[in-house]
Amino acid sequence: MTTEINSPSQAGIADEAHLKSSMRKVALTALAGTSIEWYDFFLYATAAALVFPSAFFPDSTPTMGLILSFATFAFGFIARPLGGILFGHFGDRVGRKRTLVIALMMMGIASTLIGLLPTFATIGIAAPILLSVLRFTQGLAIGGQWGGAMLLVTESAPADKRGYYGAYAQAGAPVGVILANVAFIIISAMVSEDAFMQWGWRIPFISSVLLIGISMYVQLHMEDTDAFKELQALQAQKQAASPEVKEVRRSPVLEAIAKYPKRIALAAGAFLSIQVTFYILIGFVLAYGSDPNGAAMSRDNLLLAVLVASALQIPSQFLASAYSDRRGRRGVFMLGAILTGVWAFALFPLIDTGSFWLIVLGISGGLVFLGMMYGPQAAFFTELFSTDVRYSGASLGYQVGAILGGAFAPTIATILWVQYDIVWVSVYIAIASVLSLISVMMLTETYKTNLHDMG
């Protein structure tokens, strides 16, 4: 038996229901893909703090092994702008969906191979070299993934809910941290310490093969965004109208740099505080909190503290993003930068207490305030650029900010802590927050931007 739609109001209700259903599908798929993609990326951060110094740099002192391990961690960030350029070019040329699929598959393969990689004891110096190559590949993949997933959501969302739906793509980061930490906690509880250091740490990496399945789902069940399809139609129409004229287009990346140099630079600056603070909170804090001369917390308790804090970051991102749909992106972003900079001076005194719940409070405060910036960021960066160069422009701003802010954050924090005093790590976070605040102040408000501007 079929139900007929007899009135315009019923048709409108049906269309609205279909739109909501379609957006939920897009948003949840983006969340699943980015969560596992970030899970892979953050597994490395956790392993770099806890496992890789002894597995891949056993001849170094503990401090130097940690610094070298965090240096390989930085390789992923060096690759991220290159990934943003490479995938941005094809994302603006062949579509958001196909480019995202390739990025997801690349990450799944690289992370699985890290789990299968022999250590220094087996193949010598080749082990850290191969580790660095695979980390570089992870960086290329994450550099391309963010632009694809975020545009797939924000370009498909209703204009008054771009921030809210964009938060689904952004939620992949804290969910990825949670998944990575849960994986290490479960494996650590199931095997002995020696077994964990020898082979147990590999299991979370090998399970990354699931990402290949998600990439196939996106390829088979998702469509590209309306904004990109409109751009393709316009280009085809222009070509049909003047078939004798062969249009020569510059690379979308070069075009984005030529059209929006200031916006790309300021977007990168806006991202500094998020990156510096985030990787200190999920990476460096594990090494600092477990130091025998400090709080000397157990590995599992520190992982659990980061897990709880990351869970609290998620609602903070959605609340800030929904607020930005009504009141604008800049205000909530700037407030997050201010609170993050101030909270940096409470973070380490709370960790130094050695109290589990005060450590949770310290890390949670940082991640919740950071979420006020990271949640609206997807919509904010989307709205800064026209459709023809949006993938390239947004990815460049994001990934340049990532390498400047996140690549060496754990390494710089370790050097400041060992050579000077832990308070200088707080100063480091505060300086990054001030730079982000200034960058956002110099950008214009974007939340009423028409995303169907073809450029």
Q: How many CB atoms lie within 10 A of CB 159?
A: 13
Give the model's pLDDT for residue 330.
93
Domain that holds residue 347: 18-241+251-441
More confident residue, 77 or 307: 307
Buried b (16+ CB within 10 A) or exposed e, 70-100: bbbbbbbbbbbbbbbbbbbbbbbbebbbbbb
Q: Is residue 11 part of a domain?
A: no
Residue 420 pLDDT exceeds 70: yes
Question: Which pLDDT score is estimated for 450?
Answer: 78
pLDDT of 156 reads 81
pLDDT at res. 336: 96
Share of the chain above pLDDT 70, in %: 85
Do residues 119 and 127 lie in contact, with contact meaning Cβ atoms separated by under 8 Å?
yes
- Mean pLDDT of the region 317-327: 94
d(CA 80, CA 244): 39
Q: Which DSSP symbol is given to 384?
A: T
Using the predicted structure, report yes or no on whether residue 413 has a pLDDT greater than 50.
yes
Compute the distance between CA of residue 30 and CA of residue 218 in angstroms, rounded to an integer: 9
DSSP 244: T
pLDDT digits (tens, 9 = 90+) for 136-184: 888 888 877 777 778 878 878 888 888 999 998 889 888 888 888 788 8
Query: Does residue 373 have a pLDDT over 90?
Result: yes
Residue 288 in this model has a pLDDT that exceeds 70: yes
- What's the pLDDT score for residue 276? 93
Position 116 pLDDT exceeds 80: yes
Residue-level pLDDT at 74: 77
Share of the chain residues as helix, strand and coil, in percent rounded to the nearest 5 = 85, 0, 15
Q: At what angle do helices 8-50 and 162-190 cross, to 10 degrees?
A: 40
For residue 454, is it within any domain? no
* pLDDT number for residue 139: 85
Is 447 within the bounds of a domain? no
Q: How far apart are the first and last CA of the chain?
A: 48
Q: What is the three-class DSSP state of 207?
A: helix
Using 50, 70 and 90 to split pLDDT, how confident is the model at 243?
low
- How high does pLDDT run on average in the chain? 81
- Max Cα-Cα span within the chain: 77
CA–CA separation, 396 and 403 (whole Å): 11
**Is 286 inside a domain boundary?**
yes
Q: Is 453 within a domain?
A: no
State the total domains in the chain. Answer: 1
Answer whether residue 444 shows pLDDT above 50. yes
Residue 360 lies in a domain: yes
Residue 6 domain-assigned (yes or no): no
| CB within 8 Å of 282: residues ≥ 6 apart | 42, 45, 46, 177, 306, 310
- pLDDT at position 236 over 70: no
φ and ψ of 141, to 5 deg: -65, -45
What CA–CA distance (Å, rounded) separates 253 from 84?
Answer: 9
Alpha-carbon distance of 349 to 48, in angstroms, equals 24
pLDDT tier, 339 (very low <50, low <70, confident <90, very high otherwise): very high
CA angle at 88 for the pair 20 and 38, rounded to the nearest 5°: 65
| Tens digits of residue pLDDT in 60-84 | 877 788 788 878 877 777 887 788 7
**Cα angle vertex 87, ends 405, 272, to 5°?**
10
CATH number, residue 166: 1.20.1250.20
- 57 found inside a domain: yes
With a cut of 70, say whether residue 404 has pLDDT above it: yes
Contacts of 9 (CB under 8 A, 6+ apart): none
* C-alpha closest to that of 350 among 297, 307, 429: 297
Tell me the pLDDT band of 93, cut-offs 50, 70 and 90.
confident
